[in-house]
């Protein structure tokens, strides 16, 4: 009877687990569709914002400020967003992020209606939309664990990476096309995307998205109370992991250098009298190749492993930047730029897969926040430096300088992958042997 009951329990557990799988797959589909709509709406607005500023004000300076305001939250908000997702319900944070984006959609309508306030309203919209988007994506990446089993986590992460490149591929041309049809249309798409995201998140059956307090003794911080008010524990995890340390270092350095590459290619395209449509079509190769790289990433990363994946990406980046520098042609260069995005999709997947698989869940948001702060902070600094370099050296010499920088980063990669040196323990002094010997004077015999 006991054996029969145990078999019945096992079968019942299997049935219950099998019954949960469709629900969890449904929740992941809803989460994926909400994030896809959010990213598509953001890419439409990101493309249309500087163009709309130029159309309403006629000032390239205002257009530049609008572009800078959209990238500033990536530098300022990732650390605080990571702390929030490690402390509060991630589904509620996603809903708050989409509600904030929905409320911010009023600002571009006001900019179009009251054109004397257009510059200020568009800058505020670009900044606040970026803030709420950072909050949403920080919560969304860490929430995948709650709706996907560990066996399907790699596939889910690859699907999410492909979603980002697909949104970039479709959102950029769609934003420009909609702006040409009507000034309100790109931001109307963004509002509808936020409405759908809120609706999809509310349909999810999994309601509890609080971080689980699962600790890995190999990586957990010794003082959790101190980690709640600082990011010292997250920094220890990043610096103590050779893979995380290496990927974040090379990604930040190459993001900085790649801004000079793409700006040089745009200047070369203008020198060759290429139209804006032709340039946009060539820039779309980055989304196509990034999508292909994210789709193939799980099998490639599983076959290569973490260390070889970094090496293959760095060698490929060095070769492609060398192609850009040698030919100095915008068509060849922008095709090579697509190849950079292909390997970038592979490296992004390897990074996210390593973080979600090996970082304790109660520290995942802060570790990802540190990583995005490091890699994302290099983008505005690189863009600012690239402008001065191209104006001073010209596009051809700038690409050679960027190629040399990528080559140096590639050479430094093996040294970054080495585990940290630990001080050797001092050898303990050997205990001295005390020999107790009786010394008898010569000629004295032992008595019997």
Question: Are 199 and 267 within one domain?
Answer: no
- Tens-digit pLDDT profile for residues 341-380: 888 888 888 888 888 778 877 777 778 778 878 887 787 7
Q: Which of 278-287, 335-344, 438-447 has the lowest mean pLDDT?
A: 438-447
Cα–Cα distance for residue pair 369/373, rounded to 1 Å: 6
Task: Note whether residue 137 is domain-resident.
Answer: yes
Task: Note whether residue 439 is domain-resident.
Answer: no
Task: Note whether residue 374 is domain-resident.
Answer: yes
Quote the mean pLDDT of the chain. Answer: 77
Task: Note whether residue 97 is domain-resident.
Answer: yes
Cα–Cα distance for residue pair 294/305, rounded to 1 Å: 16
Domain end point (choices 175, 207, 239): 207
Helix (H, G, I), strand (E, B) or coil at 328: coil
Question: Are 63 and 186 within one domain?
Answer: yes
Question: Are 192 and 268 within one domain?
Answer: no
Q: How many residues does the chain have?
A: 448
Question: Are 398 and 270 within one domain?
Answer: yes
Question: Residue with structure tokens 């930047």?
Answer: 321
Cα–Cα distance for residue pair 286/320, rounded to 1 Å: 13
Question: Are 276 and 182 within one domain?
Answer: no
Domain end point (choices 149, 181, 207): 207
Helix (H, G, I), strand (E, B) or coil at 280: helix
Cα–Cα distance for residue pair 171/165, rounded to 1 Å: 10
Task: Note whether residue 106 is domain-resident.
Answer: yes
Question: Are 187 and 267 within one domain?
Answer: no
Instruction: Please tell me the total count of domains within the chain.
Output: 2
Question: Are 148 and 103 within one domain?
Answer: yes
pLDDT band at 16 (very low <50, low <70, confident <90, very high): very low
**pLDDT of 397 strictly over 80:** yes
Of 94 and 230, the structure prediction assigns the larger pLDDT to 94
**pLDDT of 317 strictly over 90:** yes
| Percentage of the chain modeled with pLDDT above 70 | 79
Domain end point (choices 207, 231, 259): 207
Task: Note whether residue 4 is domain-resident.
Answer: no
Task: Note whether residue 445 is domain-resident.
Answer: no
The mean per-residue pLDDT over the stretch 371-395 comes to 80
Task: Note whether residue 438 is domain-resident.
Answer: no
The CA-based dihedral angle spanning residues 77, 78, 84, 85, taken in that order and rounded to the nearest 10 degrees: 140
Would you give the DSSP letter of residue 231? S
pLDDT band at 13 (very low <50, low <70, confident <90, very high): very low
Is the distance from CB of 90 to CB of 208 less than 8 angstroms? Answer: no
The CA-based dihedral angle spanning residues 7, 12, 18, 20, taken in that order and rounded to the nearest 10 degrees: -150
* CA angle, 352 then 102 then 294, to 5°: 25
Question: Are 141 and 243 within one domain?
Answer: no
Question: Are 84 and 157 within one domain?
Answer: yes
**pLDDT of 235 strictly over 50:** yes
pLDDT given at position 422: 57
Of 17 and 378, the structure prediction assigns the larger pLDDT to 378
Question: Are 261 and 360 within one domain?
Answer: yes
Of 52 and 250, the structure prediction assigns the larger pLDDT to 250
| Domain region containing 335 | 218-418
Instruction: Locate 92 and state its tokens.
Output: 């509620």
CATH code, domain carrying 79: 1.20.1250.20
pLDDT band at 17 (very low <50, low <70, confident <90, very high): very low
Identify which of 24-38, 138-152, 169-183, 233-247 has the greatest average pLDDT: 233-247
- Tens-digit pLDDT profile for residues 50-77: 778 877 877 666 766 777 777 778 777 7
pLDDT band at 211 (very low <50, low <70, confident <90, very high): low
**pLDDT of 311 strictly over 70:** yes
Question: Are 408 and 329 within one domain?
Answer: yes
pLDDT given at position 3: 46
- Does pTM surpass 0.85? no
Question: Are 330 and 202 within one domain?
Answer: no
pLDDT given at position 60: 62
Q: Where are the alpha helices (DSSP H) in 359-394?
A: 361-393
**pLDDT of 400 strictly over 90:** yes
Instruction: Locate 207 and state its tokens.
Output: 């309601």
């Amino acid at each position: 009877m006991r054996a029969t009951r145990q078999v019945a329990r096992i079968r019942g557990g299997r049935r219950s687990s099998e019954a949960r799988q469709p629900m969890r797959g449904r929740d992941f589909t809803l989460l994926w569709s909400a994030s896809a709509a959010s990213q598509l709406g953001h890419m439409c607005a990101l493309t249309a914002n500087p163009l709309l500023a130029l159309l309403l004000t006629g000032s390239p300076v205002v257009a530049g400020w609008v572009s800078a305001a959209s990238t500033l939250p990536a530098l300022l908000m990732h650390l605080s967003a990571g702390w929030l997702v490690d402390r509060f319900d991630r589904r509620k944070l996603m809903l708050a992020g989409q509600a904030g984006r929905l409320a911010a959609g009023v600002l571009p309508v006001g900019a179009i209606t009251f054109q004397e306030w257009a510059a200020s309203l568009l800058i505020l919209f670009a900044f606040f939309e970026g803030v709420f988007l950072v909050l949403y994506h920080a919560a969304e990446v860490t929430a995948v664990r709650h709706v996907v089993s560990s066996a399907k986590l790699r596939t889910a992460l690859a699907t999410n990476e492909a979603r980002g490149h697909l949104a970039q591929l479709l959102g950029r041309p769609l934003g420009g096309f909609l702006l040409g049809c009507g000034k309100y249309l790109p931001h109307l798409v963004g509002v509808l995307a936020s409405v759908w995201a809120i609706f999809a998140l509310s349909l999810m059956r999994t309601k509890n998205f609080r971080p689980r307090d699962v600790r890995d003794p190999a990586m957990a911080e010794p003082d959790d109370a101190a980690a709640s008010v600082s990011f010292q524990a997250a920094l220890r995890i990043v610096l103590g992991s050779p893979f995380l340390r290496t990927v974040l270092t090379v990604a930040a350095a190459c993001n900085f250098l790649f801004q000079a590459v793409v700006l040089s290619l745009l200047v070369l395209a203008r020198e060759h009298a290429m139209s804006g449509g032709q340039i946009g079509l060539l820039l779309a190769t980055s989304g196509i190749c990034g999508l292909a790289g994210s789709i193939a990433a799980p099998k490639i990363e599983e076959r290569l492993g973490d260390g070889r994946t970094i090496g293959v990406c760095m060698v490929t980046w060095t070769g492609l930047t060398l192609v850009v520098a040698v030919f100095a042609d915008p068509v060849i260069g922008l095709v090579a730029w697509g190849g950079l995005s292909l390997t970038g999709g592979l490296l992004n997947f390897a990074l996210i897969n390593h973080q979600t698989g090996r970082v304790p869940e109660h520290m995942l948001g802060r570790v990802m926040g540190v990583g995005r702060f490091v890699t994302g902070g290099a983008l505005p600094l690189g863009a600012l430096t690239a402008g001065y370099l191209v104006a001073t050296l010209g596009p051809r010499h700038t690409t050679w300088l960027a190629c040399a920088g990528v080559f140096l980063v590639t050479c430094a990669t093996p040294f970054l992958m080495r585990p940290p040196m630990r001080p050797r323990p001092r050898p303990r002094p050997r205990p001295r042997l005390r020999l107790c010997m009786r010394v008898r004077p010569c000629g004295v015999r032992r008595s019997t």
